[in-house]
Structure 1
Amino acid sequence: MTRLNTTSTTLLCAEDPLIDMTFITTCTGMTDKWFYQLMSQGRFPKPIKLGRSSRWYKSDVESWLRQRIADSRGV
């Protein structure tokens, strides 16, 4: 019988879901081409590859966006 360790952190968590590029482009109004260019320059989080799909932790994208806002405002 296999038991799950309830004290360990799980990778799949509703508090930090995996999001796709459509979600990112809808929220930001920017194109996927722009984001892939940023990734190639190391200026946007690399995706988590799941087969042929790419996903990002929502928290990583939010952190990146908060930093961009702070940088643009000189904070």
Structure 2
Amino acid sequence: MTKIHTTADLLNDKLVDMAFITAFSGLSDKWFYKLIQSGLFPKPIKMGRSSRWLRSEVETWMQQRIADSRGT
């Protein structure tokens, strides 16, 4: 289910690019694009030819992976 973000949410968030995501995770962009295609990573926000993600969604995704790997 997609979360509807309020204006306050967006003002307190930041848009990040794939370079940020790969540096943050240590994983390749190709791996993330495969996850996006399979619905396992948030879809990008398209701005012309650029793709961006809400930092909070990337961080939530990462926190869930950590919790899943630790059985919590």
The TM tier, using the shorter chain, reads 0.7 to 0.9
SS of alignment partner, residue 59 of structure 2: helix
Alignment of 1:1-75 (within 5 A): 9=7, 13=11, 15-75=12-72
Instruction: Give ranges in structure 1 of 5+ residues lacking alignment.
Output: 1-7
Distance 1:62 1:11 in 2: 14
Over the aligned positions, Cα root-mean-square deviation in angstroms equals 1.6
Identity of aligned residues (%): 61
Distance 2:44 2:56 in 1: 13
Q: Which runs of 4+ in 1 moved over 3 A?
A: none
SS of alignment partner, residue 56 of structure 1: strand
SS of alignment partner, residue 35 of structure 1: helix
TM-score by length of 2: 0.86
Deviation at 1:10, TM superposition (A): 5.4
Q: Which protein shows a greater Rg?
A: 1
Which residue pairs with 2:3 in the alignment? none
